[in-house]
Structure 1
Amino acid sequence: MEKRIGFVATRFAGTDGVSLEAAKWSHILEKNGHHCFWFAGEIDRDPQRSLKVPEAFFQHETNKAIDAAIFGRKRRSPATTQAIHDLRVSLKKQLYAFIDRFRIEMLVAQNLLTIPMHLSLGLAMTEVIAETQIPTVAHHHDFYWERPRFSVNAVGDYLRMAFPPNLPNIEHVVINSAAQEELALRTGVSSVIIPNVLDFENPPLSDEKDTRTFRKTMGLTPEDFLILQPTRIVQRKGIEHAIDLVHELGNRHFKLLISHEAGDEGFEYAEWLTEHARDRGVDLRLIATRVPGDPNRPTLWDLYAHADFITYPSLYEGFGNAFLEAVYFRKPLLINRYAIFVRDIEPKGFDLIVMDGFLTKKNVQKVKEVLEQPALRERMTDHNYAVASRHYSYATLGRQLHNLMANFFGVNGCSM
């Protein structure tokens, strides 16, 4: 039976992990006959199926003012409490309007009840779920207790209430085994693991002519090697290790490109990286990938397709979209052994260049070998694609979403 499914978050736009994974979920659900709709403060989805509420965006001025008053301190004022609830009441009305307008039968909260980037929206969502008893999937990407910036706060009562809520009509989904265990330990809430996925049944198409044109547009010569850091510019991405790698490679033809903008966590790190690259003699290029209505910018997919090598030296990840994307585009990569990689991904048997917190001469030599030996590179990337196809495909996601919906509607009540 077809269902009308409402996705809710602070943002469904751009190339952040939450937006990308939500798009994959909706693709699978719609392929199986369901209808998906969108609620957020910033949206680049079909306007006919979306309700954009600017106050729901985590960067909205009202929410930023609340954040400044509740995080990094232990006490909140009555005025701050009132501001939280004024915004909650307003957003709750908008959520009800969303449900009524699109006749929503099931909700998917995308990281909304996980990390308090927008406290009032999380509280509003929790109340709506409790009052309507609409079947809800809470898709958790990264919990507040995983982020130091939320460790000191004046809203412990609200965090216990809604991040996440423990309600009978919610199925909780996490993206790694550590999160599953910690969620159960802290809250008693059980969950299922659904890792991030890509469409490995349909490999990406490549075109040598497009690559030549793209590289020329980027100001690259045929002798240049494009090394891509496909992440946002935030400190936990460890981008300084990518700069150090290019420096140690010792070849002016190696160019380092960062594919995402700074801003989500300030600009100081980006400024420091620029200075660090200059000091190390590294050609560092920052490029904003395409936004809606701007055909002059490349997409993230363009960058992957035309890159020679991927760097992913993250210190922490909830899963690691960039890792999976590099494998999908059959690109060799350097990856840091962050905790979730060690626990959930590394045992799968991928063939990767791995650093363990710091860059070694052996890492640098291996990168040189991979870049200089096409046959070695092909064996490595083909093996990785085959491994990922078994564990992180759309087919795997489809089966897991079917099981979730069957929990709500019965085996015969959901079409997957």
Structure 2
Amino acid sequence: MLKMKQTIGICHYRIGKTDGVSLEIHKRKKALEQLGYQVKLIAGPRSIGTDYVIEELEFDNPAILKIKENAFFKFKNFDSVTVFRYYLYKYTEIIKQKFLKIYEKENFTYLFLHNIFTHGRHIAAAKAFCEIAEETKIQVIAVNHDFYWIGSYKDIYKPQIPFVKQYLKKYVPPQTPKIKHAVSNSINQKALEKRIGVKAFICPDTFDFKQQPWMKDQYNQDFLSHFGLKSNDLIVLQATRISTRKGIELAIEVVKQLGQMKKKLVGKTLYNGKKITPNSQIVLILAGYAEEDSLDYKRRLQDLIKKTGIKAVFIANQIGAQRRREKGKKIYSLWDTYVYADLVTFPSWWEGWGNQFIEAVFAKKPIIVFEYPVFRADIAKEGYQVISLGHKLKQTKAGLVTVPELQLKQATDQTISLLTNKTTKQLLESNFRIGKRYHSEAILIQQLKQLLKR
């Protein structure tokens, strides 16, 4: 008799996008399948490629938004805490029962929960899955990318009533032997241990370094012309989502500085063979999307772009995790954007690790980095050579961030030097080897084997 494959569930609010968590889920699914498991994806309705949809897992669902707003911003839509508690528990139970129906069918051996127990966006889901862990035989692994009480979230999620404080202490994250915790960096490991006394397993981001290099091909050959760009334009790629903590205004400032020093580039041949001419433009491509709570930030970025006069193109509506056609419209993959990039900006001031950093390393592109805490604590010591924006920020009157002028000037000078230096390819090859050593798919498989041990 053939032995049945064990089934693993992977659950998140959204899956199949170009955000870091979606990309990590895709990698884990592939690796788990290589290990012989059957993998099923569970998420909310704004997902691509899921096996099961639970409507109430969407954090922008009106009911879930109402819970978040009253829990953390202003308690105004409920007559009493008792009514609020009833409303919260109602959605906890809905999520729980819908998942249990899936469990009846799939009989999961393991369940990976990404960011379910970590921040205030969806506290109803935390209680639901804590109860599922306690009441079933599923071996639950919580993969915690962010925590609401540190980093970019600590000034956002402020409990408005004592009940929410108690709830968070119990469920976000929960302390139970039925749940194994993993984190993506040493900072989060220390934060979790301090909060609930559990030392989590560290699983930094990884990448498939054995895959074929991303190249120009028949599908993406029209990429530049499609977005109104020329083959001799200097393309600066910002591949992250549009979110405040991504510090994208720093990328805009870098492109502005490069524009002011363009004469140092004209007539030069870049490390990749591209020749910059007087009619070459320096263009910032923004490939990531903005969620609803980041639309105001996107508008501020657009205002800054207009003020600085740089050329910037927002292309998220035609970028996906995979190539496809949607209602007759060509959707390029995120990887296609790297093919045409001459330079990658990664100016985030807070990251759980940094998918776009390791993607740029694989793509062998020069990277401009703001040295965010996890970069300084975990990544820099691996030995990558990057263009640094330093690690000190100042707030502007527009609610954006900036770095000291001297640091920006030094980074721009270094960028021009690196773009035009014949030894740059050697540097990028060195970065690639370091990335492959510490963050390859083989490392991911080792991580998963450790997590699946009991």
TM-score of the alignment, normalized to the shorter chain, above 0.5:
yes
Aligned to 2:359: 325
Counterpart contact for 2:69–2:75, Cα < 8 Å? no
The one-letter amino acid paired with 1:158 is: Y
Alignment partner, residue 436 of structure 2: 389
Normalising by structure 2, we get a TM-score of 0.85
Letter in 2 for 1:390: R
Pairwise CA distance, 1:360: 2.4
1:352–1:380 Cα contact (<8 Å) kept:
no
Give, in whole Å, the separation in 1 of the partners of 2:103 and 2:181.
Answer: 20
The Cα shift of 1:25 comes to 0.7
CA positional deviation for 1:346? 0.2
Match of 1:404 in 2: 451
Partner Cα distance (1:283, 1:269) in 2? 18
Cα distance change, pair 153–187 in 1 and its aligned pair in 2 (3 A): farther
Aligned residue in 2 for 1:411: none
User: Are positions 1:334 and 2:356 aligned together?
Assistant: no
CA distance in 2, matches of 1:57, 1:349: 39
- 1:39 offset after TM fit, Å? 1.6
Other structure's SS at 1:226 match: strand
- Match in the other structure for 2:267: none
Check 1:395–1:298 CA distance in 2 against 1; reply closer, same or farther (3 A cut): same
Task: Give the C-alpha shift of residue 186 in structure 1.
Answer: 1.2
Aligned residue pairs total: 404
Amino acid at match of 1:67: K
Q: Tell whether the 8 Å contact from 2:17 to 2:48 is kept in structure 1 after alignment.
A: no
The CA deviation string for residues 316-364 of structure 1, in whole angstroms up to 9 with x for no partner, is 1111111111111111110001110001000000011111132421210
Q: Please, which of 355, 369, 378 is the counterpart of residue 425 of structure 2?
A: 378
Q: Distance in 1 between the 2:9 and 2:160 partners? A: 31
| 8 Å Cα contact 1:211/1:306 also seen in 2 | no
Asked whether the equivalents of residues 197 and 397 of structure 1 are also in contact (C-alpha less than 8 Å), the reply is yes
Whole-Å Cα distance in 1 between the matches of residues 160 and 197 of structure 2?
22
CA shift at 1:89, angstroms?
1.0
Q: Return the offset for 1:45.
A: 5.2
Q: Which of 77, 81, 84 pairs up with 2:85?
A: 81
Aligned positions of 1:17-416 closer than 5 A: 17-42=20-45, 44=47, 46=49, 50-73=51-74, 77-146=81-150, 147=153, 148-154=155-161, 155-207=164-216, 213-250=222-259, 251=262, 253-288=281-316, 289-291=318-320, 294=326, 295-356=329-390, 357=392, 358=403, 359-373=407-421, 375-407=422-454
Q: How has the CA–CA distance of structure 1 residues 138 and 212 changed in structure 2, closer, same or farther, with 3 Å as cutoff?
A: same
Alpha-carbon offset, residue 77 of structure 1: 2.6
> How far does residue 41 in structure 1 lie from its aligned partner after superposition?
0.9
Question: Bigger CA drift: 12-21 or 199-208?
Answer: 199-208
Contact 1:6 1:99 in 2 (8 A): no
The answer as to whether partners of 1:333 and 1:353 remain within 8 angstroms in 2 is yes
- Give 1:96's aligned amino acid: L
Q: What is the Cα deviation at residue 264 of structure 1?
A: 4.1
1:18–1:42 distance in 2 versus 1, CA, 3 Å: farther
Tell me how far apart the structure 1 counterparts of residues 288 and 8 of structure 2 sit (CA, whole Å). Answer: 30
Label 1:404 to 1:372 Cα distance change in 2 as closer, same or farther (>3 A). Answer: same
**Alignment partners' CA distance in 2, 1:211 and 1:333:** 23
Cα distance in 2, alignment partners of residues 212 and 362 from structure 1: 35
- The residue type paired with residue 416 of structure 2 is K
- 1:6 to 1:209, Cα distance in 2 relative to 1, 3 A: closer
**Preserved contact between residue 136 and residue 170 of structure 1 (Cα < 8 Å):** yes
SS at match of 1:296: strand
SS in 2 for 1:262: coil
Structure 2 alignment gaps of length 5 or more: 263-279, 393-402
State how far apart, in whole Å, the 1-side matches of 2:325 and 2:116 are: 27
Corresponding residue SS for 2:435? helix
Give 3-state SS (helix, strand or coil) of 1:11's partner: coil
Asked if the contact 1:74/1:152 (under 8 Å) is kept, the reply is: no
Greater fraction of residues in helix: 1
Question: d(CA) in 2 for partners of 1:123 and 1:202?
Answer: 39
Cα offsets for 1:184-207 (capped at 9, x unmatched): 011101211010100012242313
In structure 1, the residue matched to 2:277 is none
Q: What's the offset of the Cα at 1:283?
A: 0.5
Q: Is the 8 A contact 1:172 1:191 kept in 2?
A: yes
SS in 2 for 1:228: strand
Q: Aligned partners of 1:14 and 1:399: how far apart in 2?
A: 25
Distance 1:379 1:349, change over 3 A: same
Which deviates more from structure 2 when the two are superposed, residues 76-85 or residues 297-306?
A: 76-85
Q: Which runs of 5+ in 1 are unaligned?
A: 408-416
- Is the partner of 1:236 in helix, strand or coil? helix
RMSD of aligned C-alpha atoms?
A: 1.9
Deviation string 1:191-234 (CA, Å, 9 cap, x unpaired) is 11010100012242313776653222221122201101111111
By how many angstroms is 1:32 displaced?
1.5
Q: Note the alpha carbon deviations across 1:47-98, whole angstroms, 9 max, x for none.
A: 5xx2201111111111011111111247963222111011111111011111
Tell me which stretches of 4 or more aligned residues in structure 1 moved more than 6 Å: 208-211
Residue 52 of structure 1 aligns to which amino acid in structure 2? V
